[in-house]
Structure 1
Amino acid sequence: MLPTDAVPSRRPRLVLVAGDVIANTMAGPGLRFVKIAEQLSAVADVTIALGHEGSNAAALADMPFDAREYASHEELVALMVGADIVYGQMVDENAVRQAVQSGTRFIFDLYNAVPAEAIGSEKIGGFDTQPEMDNVYSQVLSFFRLCMRAGSYFVTSNERQRDFWIGFMLAAKGVMPSSLDGRAATDIVGLLPFGLEDEDPVQASHGIRGKRGIGDDDFVVLWAGGIWDWFDAETPIRAVAALRERRPNVHLVFYGTTHPNALIGRPASVGRAAALARDLGVLDVGVHFIEGWVPASERADYLRDADIAVCAHKDSLETRYAFRTRILDHFWSSLPSVVTEGDWFAEYIAENELGEVVRYGDVEQTATAIERLMSSDVRDQTIGHVQAIRDSWKWSATTRELVEIVANWEERLPVRDLRPIEEAITASHRRIGPLLRLRYRLSHTWVGKIYRRARGR
């Protein structure tokens, strides 16, 4: 921990390498980096580096930090080497190595468990065939192993993810007996979940009501985000189609069908969801898809038109370590939630009575949960519970721990040196590799069988 009398010698120069498109229209990852940059500007001289196609530095003109666009590896390296601290998520591997060698300290944002998220995706790195998917996935793992060794500090979203990344770090030799230095897990991996705007949402115009045949008296269930591979849009669609037979004023609205990052675009899962709604006879009648992507600055127009929000996912490996950032928009706009069991937020919502938690793929239970929240008494009570927890999720609260770390950066961020670690790993492989290969060969011969029987006796 930082001694009480320790005072940093100066404000650090901090570069945030944006992990996604940052412009007037952006998704959660871009919005996250803008908000973190805004909070860190109180204790550091912050520059946000924009390299994704479609990013626009002019969109950040009124922010309390600088924005720089880069178009080459060399430009990125120059930005990083000139910084005391680099904050990033998926950063060019060679640039990381060069910056670490120059003395730059890294904070890696691990707010989603990318290895668990990617492994079950329909496409990885644009591929949906083997062995290409495994090859790209192996490169992803290799990158995060580098992060574990290069990072001075890490942030993630919840305790499940902290355990995930600590395990990954130990396996990657990101912490060694020589570098632990008495630190606890919380000194190495902090918590920085997605946050809420400090100001309440203000609706400038109607995004949903008065359009698509949805009136003021209709009940709007909002799916507030994209439909990615691990989500289950089909269960809410089937639930609303069934519910409309007795409650025809129920409407399910999807926004965020096409990601602003061209590398992601419009997932195939959107087409499948729309096809199901068409087959059930509710497309553009009770189930509506808003094409494109709702700009972050306009999402209040849609959130404030909703009565409740829904987020459903599949039973997958990704679910265990997921953090559904869209749930924070539910909280921001005081919307009760209907969510699927299995992830961290499902437990949090159940514990704090913020909505309804349903079983995987259970159409009947999902319809019942929506209908229960159609009761004004139940909904009003749930809204009260949501409003009671909102302050703890504001960006000023979720970033507090990181702001303290950066304010005291010289004490809290150890300088890393990749060379001794990687040399030790290489030497270890030279010593142990032949023994492991010998053991493997022996275990598959009659010698190995005799050895195992002897051990059994």
Structure 2
Amino acid sequence: MAESASTPAVVPPVRLLMVVPDVVGEKMAGPGMRYVALAKALAPFLPVTLAVAESGSTALDFGTLNVTVRTWHDHKDLQKLVDECDIVFCQFFDTNVVRYALRAGKRVVYDLYNALPIETIGAERISGHTDAEGKDREYAELLRYFRFASKAGSYFVTSNERQRDWWLGYIMASDGIRPSTLGGRGPDDIVGLAPFGMTESDPVQQRSALRGHHGITDDDFVLIWAGGIWDWFDALTPIRAVAELAGTDSRIKLVFYGTVHPNATIGKPPAVDRAEELARSLGVLGTSVIFLHDWVPAEERADYLLDADAALSAHKQSLETHYAFRTRVLDHFWAKLPSIVSSGDWFADYIEKEQLGLATPPGDVEAMKAAISRLSTDVDLRERVVGNIERVREDWRWSATTRELREHLTVKVDTLAFRPEPADTEQDSQAQLGTGALSGWALARGLIGRVGHRLRLGRLARLLRPTKR
């Protein structure tokens, strides 16, 4: 039967290619967890292809969800994946393949969920360089990449309002928006919010991973540091606070877990060694302050979190702090743990406003001691905080945090403008396939000083893709 003239044609959903920037599978850090969770959240609304290239990844099971996992080894594989999609979603992606995608009429959505230029500028080392000249050179290469992304992206997502304002300024200063291309779009249609989220299901403890182990008893008050210790974090202040409190209250235990990254390129940051050395010098290593270096598989982290009484995240006072979005705090909410955090970043303001824990000035040992003592002794306070967490935590499910992205990939897809290939004004075409051993997030993280070996950002793709395997 012929279709009625009044019956609108059925428009198939766009095909989304998500280029994963890190290891995925059994052991995942934040970036890998993010892309797997995004795929699961978006798959009910459009077909998703997950492009995985990172060494160390293991099999993923998406059940009946409309997610296809594909591996790639070189630029030809990537181009084939681009041919089969309508929109590319990526954090880092070789500029030549992006140019190929734009010439083919594809649209690129950049995931700017962390302000990497802000993280990088204050790092101890950049691509292994600690001298000002070397750091400046490598930093300039990083900015070159994001200037290219500003011109190539049809849409961008980030984590909070502060970051959105910063990225809007960066994109405009990079000539990513012109009067001819604005098209009446508002800020939300240029840079949307897609922060990290929590799984739809609540945590379930399969075993006790802390209590009954490592000298921790059921009577102890356990503080957990849920994640790595990077340049901008301050593990030393809580260690000093706990060491001083240990003299009068041996129940207080601070546990760092997952301090060695599952990606061997990143591994164990120097900040972890410094933290351990301080705990050793204060006589609390292995007693009041415990380091568990193994990266905990995502499905097992509830075993650790649910053994804790509160969670702690402390950072230094820095430029990075103002724009940061501490994704580990979502694990605090997921496990209904009161937070002790350093003030100054977005989440600290949110935690104080919603009364989800206590915030202390960065580097203030006395304030940290007072916050720990208060939470460890005031049962009524902890119960009130847990009640407040229950009130807000539904706002942080992945189904909620992906709402804007989902709308722009489905209902508002027409607002994602087709972008022309950026002019080759900064020789970004030199970002050719190189001999780098790993891709994406791992090498970017090497760039900003999470690893000590000497990686050079160089022509970027050398840092953004693996060798042919």
Partner of 1:59: 60
Question: 2:144, 2:426 within 8 Å by CA — same for their partners in 1?
Answer: no
Is the 8 Å Cα contact of residues 23 and 59 (structure 1) preserved in structure 2?
A: yes
Aligned partners of 1:153 and 1:304: how far apart in 2?
A: 38
Correspondence for 2:418 among 406, 415, 428: 415
Determine helix, strand or coil for the equivalent of 1:305.
coil
**Contact in 1 for aligned 2:223/2:253 (Cα 8 Å):** yes
Cα distance in 1 for residues equivalent to 2:182 and 2:426? 17
Query: Residues 109 and 153 of structure 2 are in contact (CA less than 8 Å); yes or no, is this contact kept in structure 1?
Result: yes
Cα distance in structure 2, aligned partners of 1:351 and 1:88: 33
Match for residue 397 of structure 1 among 365, 388, 400 = 400
- Contact 2:49 / 2:69 at 8 angstroms: preserved in 1? yes
C-alpha displacement of 1:80: 1.9
Question: Cα deviations across residues 102-143 of structure 1 (Å, max 9, x unaligned)?
Answer: 111111111100000111112323433453322221111111
- Give the paired residue count: 419
Divergent runs of 4+, >4 A: 5-8, 423-426
- Please give the alpha-carbon distance, in whole angstroms, between the structure 1 residues aligned to 2:10 and 2:177: 25
Partner of 1:354: 356
Whether the 8 Å CA contact 1:300–1:333 is kept in 2: the answer is yes
Aligned equivalents of 2:108, 2:9: Cα separation in 1:
20
Contact 1:373–1:379 (Cα < 8 Å) also in 2: yes
Contact 1:12 1:409 in 2 (8 A): no
AA aligned opposite 1:384:
G
**Which of 366, 385, 390 is residue 387 of structure 1 equivalent to?**
390
Q: Counterpart of 2:379?
A: 376
- Correspondent of 1:260 among 256, 259, 262: 262
Question: Which residue of the partner structure matches residue 21 of structure 2?
Answer: 19
Q: Aligned match of 2:200 in 195, 198, 201?
A: 198
TM-score (norm 1): 0.89
Amino acid at match of 1:395: W
Report the Cα distance in structure 2 between the residues aligned to 1:425 and 1:237, rounded to whole angstroms.
Answer: 46
Partner of residue 346, structure 2 = 344
The answer to which structure, 1 or 2, has the higher relative contact order (CA under 8 A, 6+ apart) is 2
How far residue 7 of structure 1 moved from its aligned partner, in angstroms, is 8.5
Same amino acid, percent of matched pairs? 50
Q: Distance in 2 between matches of 1:280 and 1:290?
A: 18
Aligned to 1:317: 319
- Equivalences for residues 428-439 of structure 1 within 5 A: none
Give the TM-score of the pair, scaled to structure 2: 0.87
Per-residue CA deviation, residues 36-84 of structure 1 (Å, 9 max, x unaligned), is: 111111121111001111122x223536211111111221222123210
Give the SS at the match of 2:348: helix
Is residue 8–residue 407 contact of structure 1 (8 Å, CA) maintained in 2? no
Return closer, same or farther for 1:245/1:415 CA change in 2, 3 Å cut-off: same
Q: Which residue of 1 aligns with 2:3?
A: none
Taking structure 1 as reference, are residues 63 and 224 closer, same or farther at Cα in structure 2, changes over 3 Å only? Answer: farther
Larger helix proportion of the pair: 1
Equivalent residues of 2:40, 2:62 under 8 A apart: no
Say yes or no: does 1:33 pair with 2:35.
yes
CA shift at 1:27, angstroms?
A: 0.4
Secondary structure, counterpart of 1:11 in structure 2? coil
- Matching residue's letter, 2:78: L
| 1:210 alignment counterpart | 212
TM-aligned CA deviation for residue 424 of structure 1: 9.0
Bigger-Rg structure (1/2): 1
| CA distance in structure 2 between the partners assigned to 1:409 and 1:235 by the alignment | 47
Q: Which residue of 2 aligns with 1:95?
A: 97
Matched-pair contact (CA < 8 Å) for 2:407–2:413:
no
Structure 1 residues 245 and 8 mapped into 2: Cα distance closer, same or farther (>3 Å)?
A: farther
Paired residue for 2:124, among 108, 114, 122? 122
State the distance in 1 between where 2:366 and 2:164 align.
35
SS at match of 1:418: coil
Q: Give the deviation of 1:410 after TM superposition.
A: 4.3
Question: Is residue 81–residue 98 contact of structure 1 (8 Å, CA) maintained in 2?
Answer: no
Q: Which residue of 1 aligns with 2:179?
A: 177
Q: What are the ranges of 5 or more consecutive residues in structure 1 without an aligned counterpart?
A: 427-457
Alpha-carbon displacement from aligned partner over 1:269-310 (angstroms, at most 9, x marks no partner): 000000000000000010000012111111000000000000
Q: CA RMSD in A?
A: 1.8
Is residue 230 from structure 1 mapped to residue 198 from structure 2 by the alignment? no
* CA distance in structure 1 between the aligned counterparts of 2:8 and 2:236, rounded to whole angstroms: 55
Q: Which residue of 1 aligns with 2:163?
A: 161
Moved more, 247-256 or 58-67: 58-67
Match of 2:44 in 1: 42
Matches of 2:331 and 2:68, distance apart in 1: 27
> CA-to-partner distance for each residue in 1:6-40, whole Å, 9 max, x for gaps?
99721111110001111110001110111111111
